[in-house]
Amino acid sequence: MGITIDSIGLFENSDRSVKTSLELCRKAAVPCIEQSGYEKEDIGIVVSVAVYRDDYFCEPSFSSFVQKDLKINHDKQDSTGPKTLSLDVLNGAMGFLNACQLSTAMIASGKVKTGLVVSSDIVDDNVSEKGDSPGFHPSGAAMLLTGGNNSGSGFKSFHFRTFPEMQDSFESYMFNDTMGMTLIFKRDSNIEDAYLRAVSRGVSEFLENENTAIDDFDLIIPSQISSGFITKTAAILGVERKKMIDVTVDDGDLFNASLPAAMDHVFKHNLSAPGKKALIINIASGVQVGCAVYQF
């Protein structure tokens, strides 16, 4: 049984009219659920990967607020009825792919029928930004995963690799001063070179472990950092640029919305013919590389 993507919801917040992470999640999750073949009661797990959460609280999990806001098995009086587990996965821009692996494992085990992954990329207006800008495009994204497909399509394998020797390429931290809470971002001027080195090594390891070659893939779905970065990624991988899915925007990295935005493009532009195979490549601070195979 393959664990497939049933539906995707996206919400761009370019004008910054939406001010909270919770609302961004809702703007993306509502159409995602409505377009799916499932009811809210069918959702067995909600995973939030939002890094910059409202008021920067840690507990309880942000996903529990998302679950309640969306009214997903949030107020059950009958203990024998359907239930939903909610949890957060906080791992920078790698969070969405991590959550897909987690949800895939939960569905494959038979513990849940479907899983909802949500993200919201926004920096609270009450936080003063100094140093480098956050660098990401403000948006919300949601993806519903299901195990109801018996065609063999869906996620096939995952691989994650961290390169701690490159960890100083991107730093972020917070502190309180007389002006209030301050959020600091610091990026090395050569951070893309570090990312590309990590991608080259991480993908090579993954292909070797899978006993496959880069030419075996019809599509490459990379992190949507910038169009230039995707061009460089194609070059280091030795693949044609036209194989690379590019849905980048001019005003920043799509961050945790990278995977859902790219997959949404693939489905809507008829690039997902049965039998085609995609290699997902995700890059994040740490420096981390994540790879996955998705069979259409």
pLDDT tens per residue across span 46-82: 999 998 777 767 778 999 999 999 999 987 666 677 8
Nearest-10 crossing angle of helices 21-35, 62-70: 50
Average the pLDDT over each of 116-120, 152-156, 203-207, 238-242 and give the range with the smallest value. Answer: 152-156
The fold of the 2-151 domain, in CATH, is: Peroxisomal Thiolase; Chain A, domain 1 (3.40.47)
pLDDT tens per residue across span 96-148: 999 999 999 999 999 899 999 999 988 765 555 566 667 788 899 999 999 97
Of all residues in the chain, the percent with pLDDT exceeding 90 is 70
What pTM does this model have? 0.92
- Report whether CATH 2.60.40.2130 matches the domain 156-295: no
Domain boundaries defined on the chain: 2-151, 156-295
Distances from the Cα of 281 to the Cα of 148, 152, 154, 181, 221, angstroms: 25, 21, 16, 34, 6
Q: What local confidence, expressed as pLDDT, does residue 178 receive?
A: 67
User: 259: left (phi > 0), else alpha (psi -120 to 50), else beta?
Assistant: alpha
Q: What is the residue whose two structure tokens read 């009811």?
A: 39
Mean of per-residue pLDDT scores for the chain: 90
Q: What local confidence, expressed as pLDDT, does residue 185 receive?
A: 74
Q: Compute the distance between CA of residue 119 and CA of residue 63 in angstroms, rounded to an integer.
A: 10
**2-151 and 156-295: same fold?**
yes
